[in-house]
Amino acid sequence: MPAAELVDQVGSLGTTSVDTVAFRHVSPTIDPRSGTGARIHGGRWNPPGSYATLYFGTEVETVVEEFHRLARRQGLDVGDFVPRDLCRFHVHLESILDLTASESRAAVGLSDALLRRDDPTYCQAIGEAAHYLGLEGIVAPSAAGPGTVLAVFPGRLNAGSSLELLEVTRWDEPPPLPERGVQPDR
């Protein structure tokens, strides 16, 4: 169980809904709706060995920046990860934690430095609290650059929520980093 104080802090922020197009990259051999890899290995908003989580960027540029960060953090070249499928989804969620505002992040003790560091432990604790409260996911600034990410807990989707796969595009070569000012790790 997550720390009671953090559960209270996350719960005090309330929830919001989201209705957007979002993108994620996966190996061509993986079901893009699975979230099993994040369940096993963990991610920014879920610890290893926990629960399925689907990671999206609300902009393709964000997905590319996160892709490059993933390779760097694993000490690999981005070319080692291709081919990849870029999946475009329509995402409709009714109950998510919104950490896009700096005031919301401050309310749960999440500084920009904690958000962007390579060690995601504190972000994972926030994700655990949101999951414990039955929320469908988290929307927050990307740790890799100026975009927005959406972490969805598919096991927590409400009856009126949906994740509709719209299109899949194959990356046979690694996409170059966008020229929009990628921020370095802190």
Q: Is the model's pTM score more than 0.85?
A: yes
Residue 183: predicted pLDDT: 47
* Torsion sign (Cα): 38, 41, 47, 49: positive
Q: What is the CA radius of gyration of the chain?
A: 15
- The residues near 26 (Cβ < 8 Å, ≥ 6 apart) are 32, 84, 85, 87
What is the pLDDT, as a whole number, of residue 184? 46
- Can you give the pLDDT of all 186 residues of the chain as single tens digits? 789 999 999 999 999 999 999 999 999 999 999 999 999 999 999 999 999 999 999 999 999 999 999 898 889 999 999 999 999 999 999 999 999 999 999 999 999 999 999 999 999 999 999 999 999 999 999 999 889 999 999 999 999 999 999 999 999 999 999 986 544 443
Q: What is the pLDDT of residue 180?
A: 67
Token pair for 6? 């953090």
Residues, the chain, total? Answer: 186
pLDDT of residue 47: 97
